[in-house]
Structure 1
Amino acid sequence: MDTSQIWTIILAAGIPSALVALMIRRFEARMDAKEKAREKQELLLVKGINASIALGEATAEAVARIPDAHCNGDMHAALDYAKKIKHEQKDFLQEQAVHALV
């Protein structure tokens, strides 16, 4: 076997391998971009939930201060529930952060 045949074999094997490696890198880059977008979406969902809870708490507390509002137990129960869930979510996210660091 002469050197031109060896180079032909090397090129025949190398070019497809290089193309496959390039395709894999592009696929991984797309997946990384999708994962970052998914993480941002999750963060925005958590922020939206926190904003909704904060608004609900502020509204319930403002209505409770109105003398003629006659707030029933349902609103107070809902306010307590919102505060409980807010703290559970905060605790969960803190726990996840610790697991991610360790």
Structure 2
Amino acid sequence: MDVIAIGMIQALVTAMGIWFLQQSLSKREKAAQRREQEREEMEYKLLTAVNASIALGEATAKAVQRIPDAHCNGDMTEALCYTTTVKHDLKNFLHRKAVEKIV
């Protein structure tokens, strides 16, 4: 009888240990998922901020170029061309990544 009781106690302790381990792993997995979602949201917001900065820079450069007394040199034109190129490169990169995710 004592052997059966000891076996039952061992089984109970083992089951409780496994349950505790599962709970611990579940909490870690939920925390990892939450961190991943926060990282994705941060990257999205950073990308949005970059796009807004590019749009503001383009609008400012175009507005300054229209002012007759501004005396824009070639640097403004080059910067505007570079910004447009970077904007299109970023858009193309994001489109490629979107297609990779879909396929």
TM-score above 0.5: yes
TM-score, structure 2 as length reference: 0.93
Q: Any stretches of 5+ residues in structure 2 without a counterpart?
A: none
- Find the counterpart in structure 1 of residue 46 from structure 2: 45
- Find the counterpart in structure 1 of residue 95 from structure 2: 94
- Secondary structure, counterpart of 2:96 in structure 1: helix
Aligned pairs for 1:26-37 within 5 A: 26-37=27-38
- Following superposition, the deviation at residue 68 of structure 1 comes to 1.0
- Following superposition, the deviation at residue 7 of structure 1 comes to 2.1
| CA–CA distance in structure 1, aligned partners of residues 27 and 83 of structure 2 | 44
| CA–CA distance in structure 1, aligned partners of residues 8 and 73 of structure 2 | 86
Residue deviations 1:53-83 (CA, integer Å, cap 9, x gap): 0000000000000111111000110000001
Letter in 1 for 2:21: V
Q: Any stretches of 5+ residues in structure 1 without a counterpart?
A: none
TM-score, structure 1 as length reference: 0.94
Letter in 2 for 1:65: R
| CA–CA distance in structure 2, aligned partners of residues 35 and 81 of structure 1 | 33
Letter in 1 for 2:99: V
| CA–CA distance in structure 2, aligned partners of residues 74 and 34 of structure 1 | 42
Q: Percent identity?
A: 42
- Following superposition, the deviation at residue 6 of structure 1 comes to 3.3
Letter in 2 for 1:38: R
